[in-house]
Each structure stands twice: as C-alpha cells, then as structure tokens.
C-alpha cells in the first residue's frame, strides 16, 4: 500500500444504516453448523407458568479491511463469511449481537454503537443479511491502528461491560502504517479489557506473521478465511482452559485474577480483578473504572 497522511478517515458501516444493493458471490467458505449447541428447553412450573431463562449476553464485532489491496473477490468472500456467521446455530446459545465495521483511510460515516437492533434472532436475520449483502467496498488505503482504537472504545462502553466481547479482525496484507509494529500495542488493550480476539486472513496479500504480535497463540488465533470452519468458531466461543489453570496459584489463561474469573474458573471476590460482572461473586459488580469486583452502594 502507498503511504498516506496519518490523518485518516474511518468508515463504520452498521446494520442499522440503509444499504440495499446486490453483491456477487465468489464461492467463499461458510461456517459449518455441525455439532452445534442447542438451547435448553424451558421448564414449566406446576402452576403452568414458564420459567424465564436468561441467556448470557455476547457481542461480536467484525472489523473488516476494505482497502484497495483486498480486491472485489475477497470482499465478496468477507460478506459470505459474515452471513454464514450470522446464520450459525452456534450463536443461538446466547443473546448475541453482531456488529460490523469496515475501515479505509478515505471514507467516514457517523459512528453508531447502539446494539439494540443487531440482536441475532429469527426475526432480525433476514434484514441483517440484506444489509451485509449491500456493504460497499471502499478501496483506498487502510489505517489499522485507528480502526482498532475505535473498536476498543466501542467494546469498552458501559453497555458492553456485562457481555462476552469477541473481535474478529478480517484483514489483508500487512498493517499500515507499520511503524515498527505500532499496532502491536493493542495486545495489552485486549488483555486488560477482556476482549477475545481472532484474526482472519482475507485477500491475496495476507501476511500472518505481521499480526502474530496481537495474539497469544498464532496457531489457534490466526486463521485464513478459507480455513474457517464450525470447529474454529466453537474454539473462539468456548476457549479451552489450560490444565489446572484455576488452581495453580497464578493468574493465567482466561482468568481475570489469580485462579478466578473468565469463562472457565470460579467467581472472583471483592477487590479481585474482573472484565465483566459475570466474573464477580454474588452481590458484587465489575467496576468499569478500576476493573475490580466492587460492592454496590447502599
């Protein structure tokens, strides 16, 4: 890519915007739906009143490179991938919101972070699919650092703090500007905020080595779009904890403090570290300003 001024413009396309154009399909891969988790049936009490089952909240952000190096074929692959993700049965085990942001250095639209309309449901899937099919290919030169900065800001808003947050970066070529790996600084942001991160290569120029600094395990957290399967999605949604990590006396794996928090270990106590309310014991909440389990004001 040719260098441009560091003053960039960022495009965010969200499903609530009105786009109605057809797109060509290019035989891209789809997410397998084999072996999906089924939502447990609702129990009925003796009085005949159904028990309310509260599903965990999950936010998935697709951050897509839409610069000139990607190409139209790869952009169509991205849309096909996004639709297969939208329609995956694996996402129905939770209250899942799917958001989309594409970035290029030559375009700007108003940032829209209202998640209320993007709930994946049988009612919403048809119009969400239509919006994905109508996403415009931007071209221009990308600016990954700025795109990641905006994404972290969105996923750390108070509305998101009680959610499982997953960022899927779909990208081509090496990040611009490289500047001695300035984009690698976001690895600490992901670790400190509990955002789960996965990189998906798309396009003819993808260089996985350029992004390995952003993840803990490149072998499992960097995937080419053509190799993304239902098993890949399952590993992102349900990461496997290391053996005995919840009782080894150190903060490791997905823990938010020593031997507690995260999707695999027990609940954390007062003043322990946390990323979401679900990391904390009953009667406590995760204070977004300190990222510690705190007591509610009486």
Are both 103 and 169 inside the same structural domain? yes
Q: Is the pLDDT of residue 92 over 70?
A: yes
CA distances from 144 to 10, 31, 187 (A): 10, 25, 13
- Asked if 21 and 217 touch (Cβ cutoff 8 Å), the reply is no
Listed in sequence order, the residues at least 6 apart from 123 whose beta carbon sits closer than 8 Å to its beta carbon are none
Per-residue pLDDT reduced to its tens digit, 213-269: 888 888 889 999 999 998 899 888 887 644 456 887 888 767 888 889 887 788 999
d(C-alpha 69, C-alpha 111), whole Å: 24
Instruction: Indicate whether 226 and 269 sit together in one domain.
Output: no
By the 10 Å C-beta count (0-12 exposed, 13-18 middle, 19+ buried), 239 is classed as middle
Where does the pLDDT of residue 161 fall: very low under 50, low under 70, confident under 90, or very high at 90 and above? low
Strand partners, 97: 59, 119
Q: What DSSP character marks residue 116?
A: G
Q: Please tell me whether residues 221 and 280 are part of one structural domain.
A: no
Residue 273 shares a structural domain with residue 213: no
Please report which confidence band the pLDDT of residue 69 belongs to, taking 50, 70 and 90 as the band edges.
confident
Residue 114, pLDDT > 60, answer no
φ, ψ of residue 116 in degrees (nearest 5): -60, -30
User: How many CB atoms neighbour CB 51 within 10 A?
Assistant: 8
pTM for this one? Answer: 0.65
Q: Provide, rounded to the nearest whole percent, the portion of the chain with pLDDT above 90.
A: 15
- Over residues 90-100, mean pLDDT: 84
Neighbours of 167 (CB within 10 A): 23
Bond preceding residue 137 cis, omega within 30 of 0? no
> Is 245 part of any domain?
no
Let me know if residue 99 belongs to a domain.
Answer: yes
Q: Are residues 105 and 159 in the same domain?
A: yes
Given a cut of 90, is residue 150 above it in pLDDT?
no
Q: State whether 278 and 170 are in the same domain.
A: no
The reply to whether 298 falls in a domain is yes
**Which two structure tokens, joined as six digits, stand for 190?**
């992901």
Is a pLDDT exceeding 90 seen at residue 130? Answer: no
Residue 24 neighbours by CB distance under 10 Å: 11
Q: How many domains does the chain have?
A: 2
8 in a structural domain: no
Residue 62's DSSP bridge partners are 100, 168
Whether residue 280 sits in one domain with residue 174:
no
**Rounded Cα distance, 293 and 184, in Å:** 28
Task: Indicate which CATH number applies to the domain containing 105.
Answer: 3.40.50.410
Residues 183 and 275 in one domain: no
Its domain, for residue 103, covers 57-237
Residue 282 lies in a domain: yes
Same structural domain for residues 64 and 146? yes
The whole-angstrom separation of Cα 104 and Cα 46 is 57
DSSP 164: E
Whole-angstrom distance, CA of residue 128 vs CA of residue 15: 6
């Amino acid at each position: 890519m040719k260098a441009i001024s560091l003053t960039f413009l960022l495009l965010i396309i969200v499903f609530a915007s009105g786009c109605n154009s057809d797109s060509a399909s290019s035989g891209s891969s789809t997410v397998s739906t084999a072996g999906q988790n089924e939502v447990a049936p609702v129990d009925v009490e003796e009085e005949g009143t159904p028990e309310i089952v509260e599903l965990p909240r999950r936010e998935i952000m697709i951050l897509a490179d839409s610069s000139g190096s990607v190409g139209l074929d790869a952009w169509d692959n991205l849309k096909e991938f996004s639709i297969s993700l939208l329609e995956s049965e694996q996402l129905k085990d939770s209250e899942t919101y799917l958001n989309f942001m594409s970035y290029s250095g030559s375009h700007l639209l108003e940032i829209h972070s209202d998640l209320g309309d993007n709930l994946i449901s049988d009612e919403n899937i048809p119009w969400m699919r239509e919006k994905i099919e109508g996403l415009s290919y931007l071209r221009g030169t990308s600016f990954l650092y700025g795109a990641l900065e905006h994404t972290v800001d969105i996923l750390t808003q108070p509305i998101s703090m009680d959610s499982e947050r997953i960022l899927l970066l779909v990208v081509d070529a090496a990040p611009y500007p490289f500047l001695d790996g300035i984009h690698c600084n976001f690895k600490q942001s992901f670790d400190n905020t509990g955002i789960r991160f996965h990189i998906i290569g798309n396009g003819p120029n993808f260089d996985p080595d350029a992004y390995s600094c952003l993840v803990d395990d490149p072998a499992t957290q960097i995937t080419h779009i053509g190799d993304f399967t239902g098993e890949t999605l399952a590993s992102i949604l349900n990461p496997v904890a290391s053996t005995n990590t919840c009782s080894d006396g150190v903060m490791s794996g997905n823990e938010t403090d020593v031997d507690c928090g995260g999707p695999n270990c027990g609940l954390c106590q007062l003043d322990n570290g946390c990323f979401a309310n679900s990391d904390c014991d009953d009667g406590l909440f995760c204070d977004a300003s300190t990222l510690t389990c705190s007591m509610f004001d009486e």
